[in-house]
A and B are shown apart, each in its own frame.
Chain A
Amino acid sequence: MSPWTGPLEKVDDYRWRIPKSYKSGMRVDGLIFSSKELLDEVKEEQALEQVANVAFLPGIVSYSLAMPDIHWGYGFPIGGVAAMRLSDGVVSPGGVGFDINCGVRLLRTNLTEAEVRPKIRELMEALYRNVPSGLGSEGKIRLRHGEIDEVLAKGARWAVEHGYGRRNDLETTEEHGEMRGADPSLVSGKAKERGTPQLGTLGSGNHFLEVAVIDQIHDEAVAKEMGIEQLGQVMLLIHCGSRGLGHQAADDYISVMVNAMKKYNIEMPDRQLACAPINSEEGQNYLAAMRCAANYAWANRQCIAHWVREAFCKVLGKCEEDAGLEMIYDVAHNIAKIEEHELDGKKVKLCVHRKGATRAFPAGHPDIPPKYARIGQPVLIPGDMGRFSYVLVGTEQAMKESFGSTCHGAGRVKSRAAAKRMLRGEEVLRRLDSRGITVRTGSMKGLAEEASEAYKDVTAVVNVAHNAGISKIIARSRPIGVIKG
């Protein structure tokens, strides 16, 4: 693939614009939050062309946005954010992605690295055994016939009602882990067939479980409100999504949208941007099905968090209270939501697509938990398995500029095949081990694909988000144990 050579205007050190004059059909400019260094990599591929293509979508307002971790996706770039007017705008399943509500959940503990490290191998083994992972993994949960519909309607609440975790976990989950307006009758039988045996599984690819240690605190007061109290404190991070259920629901509705485009006379430069008016039957049905898949993902992370707590307590010989296993937050980074934003001085409802982007609402926003009303919504940014992860908070600037959105991770720079050619899984394992990171995996090849070298430096990514003001860095952690599916 050849480098991108379109026009890119520097707005300031962290903002770059693709003028809508670049391609006839662009309704708004593209705006990329990035640094010169990160952009040099981005320009090697066609992600910026995808930013321009997203600007074609009917009803898009302000900008076709890209977060600092932007990389080449399919249709939308990964790291893409687009907001549409409800009156004449569209919703696009490609703007959410196949892994609907792929997201991140972070739990704190009262324990320190000194207490956990001597038992880290035992802990990773227990976590690996207690949380089903890997390709085609099937879970420990046996749903009754038709019970999947309850999971799709209730999300994380279904899990809590069935003994997986606690009620107050829901308070610190985006949407309380239960998106309203989910209609299970609009999710296909095929999607339910794929999702039923996979509930409570991590999956494979870039999904993981991580035992991490806080190694930098940038804002002590804010960190403390979240329960991040000291350097060396152990954290537990879960990254996964809606499994086959979400993939199938996305497939089903992309096909619906491809037909709807003809019906509504919409033309797009890439079929993967297939869409339908938000107010059409197709648009509404997709949103209702997408919310089901989002709820499934929240139920999934809720069950996994329960088993993580179980394994942790067993190995460390502590009860849950003594171990202080409280949730910090759970965020979605592949989702479309109807939200209120200010546009030209007026409050309007918009359909915000976040494809590899995290919501970053500021202090005082009504949609964030009361617990965080004073500090802003926690934003969880996992890095690659050899480097750091970050906790940030949302800001007013994000509300003004990025529809309350920021980055979601490191962002790939090398293809999976290129990563495998460069390194063998065994070598990755050995190197991580020599740096004190214990890895448990079912696939050595999968491990090579996810090596640090395949990713952008997450620190460079979050620094752009911080310096541009669309979120604020609070703390950093480094991994001491990783489970890769």
Chain B
Amino acid sequence: MCYDNKKMRRFQLIEHTADTGLIAYGHNLAEAFANAAYGLFSIITELDKVKEIESQEVTVNAEDTESLLFKWLNDLIYTFEVKHYLFKRFDIVEFAKTSLKATCWGEKYDPSRHHIKIGVKSATYHLLEVDEGKNRVQVIFDV
């Protein structure tokens, strides 16, 4: 379980035999998406070692909200793998059911300071849920 500064629950991990997943929460759906991204990077690395010194814009469009979550998280995995960014803050500046624009803050991976705990290959659609009423999302990663 992981909490934010206001003691709001951010996300909790789900155990899945071959893989790992999470349920993320928020005051609104955009915040739940941001917390899912925070959860993803806390699976990858120890986020207390990551500084918020650089940012990248991420824009995602999808057919529906479930696909938006899938693409959002996979875009972040891609950005980490190709540009080596570890992110810890996600300012979602625009959010609609099928599109999202975010400024993601963090820094480039530095092997002398950052420990990579686990490689995440992809978010999956398996058990993927977006609960708009409860501002809660669930996702399983292939690791």
Contact = CB atoms under 8 A, between A and B. Distances in A.
B78 A248 contact: yes
Given A136-B109, A251-B74, A98 B122 contact: yes
B119 A135 contact: yes
Interface in B35-79: 62-63, 66-67, 70-71, 74, 77-78
Interface in A192-216: 193-194, 203-205
Interface string A83-117: 00000000000100111000000000000000000
B103 interface: no
A244 B81 contact: yes
A449 B18 CA distance: 10
A415 B119 contact: no
A194 B81 contact: yes
A303 B126 CA distance: 34
Contacts of B127: 74
B78 A71 contact: no
A21 interface: no
Interface string A61-77: 00000000001111100
Interface string B5-33: 00000000101111110000000000000
Contacts, number: 108
A251 B17 CA distance: 21
B67 A258 contact: yes
B140 A74 contact: yes
Contacts of B84: 136
B49 to A, nearest CB: 15
Interface stretch (A25-33, A269-277, A304-312, A315-323): A269-277
A254 interface: yes
Contact of B17 (A135, A414, A445): A414
B126 A270 contact: yes
6 contacts: A75-B124, A135-B118, A135-B119, A205-B118, A248-B78, A415-B17
Interface in A248-304: 248, 250-251, 254-255, 258-259, 270-272, 274
B119 A272 contact: no
A337 interface: no
A259 B63 contact: yes
Nearest to B123: A251
Interface residues of B, number: 35
A190 B78 contact: yes
Nearest to A417: B15
Interface of A: 1, 45, 71-75, 78, 94, 97-99, 134-136, 190, 193-194, 203-205, 244, 247-248, 250-251, 254-255, 258-259, 270-272, 274, 412-418, 443, 445-446, 449
B2 interface: no
A416 B15 CA distance: 8
B125 interface: yes
B143 A205 contact: yes
A255 B142 contact: no
A136 B120 CA distance: 10
B115 to A, nearest CB: 8
B121 A99 contact: yes
A72 B122 CA distance: 17
B117 interface: yes
B125 A274 contact: yes
B118 A258 contact: no
A417 B13 contact: yes
Given A73-B126, A255-B71, 7 more contacts: A135-B118, A190-B78, A204-B119, A248-B78, A251-B74, A251-B122, A255-B70
Interface in B93-143: 109, 116-119, 121-122, 124-128, 140, 142-143
Nearest to A207: B119
Contacts of A1: 16
Given A98-B121, A272-B125, A194 B78 contact: yes
Given A74-B124, A194-B81, A271-B128, A415 B118 contact: no
Contacts of B74: 251
Give the interface centre of B82, B126, B143 by most chain A CB atoms within 10 Å: B126
Given A270-B125, A445-B117, A136 B20 contact: no
B125 A136 contact: no
Contacts of A250: 122
A271 B118 contact: no
Given A135-B116, A136-B84, A413 B17 contact: yes
Contact of A205 (B17, B78, B80, B119): B119
Contacts of B19: 74, 415-416
Given A194-B82, A270-B125, A72 B18 contact: yes
Nearest to B45: A135
Contacts of A190: 78, 82
A289 to B, nearest CB: 15
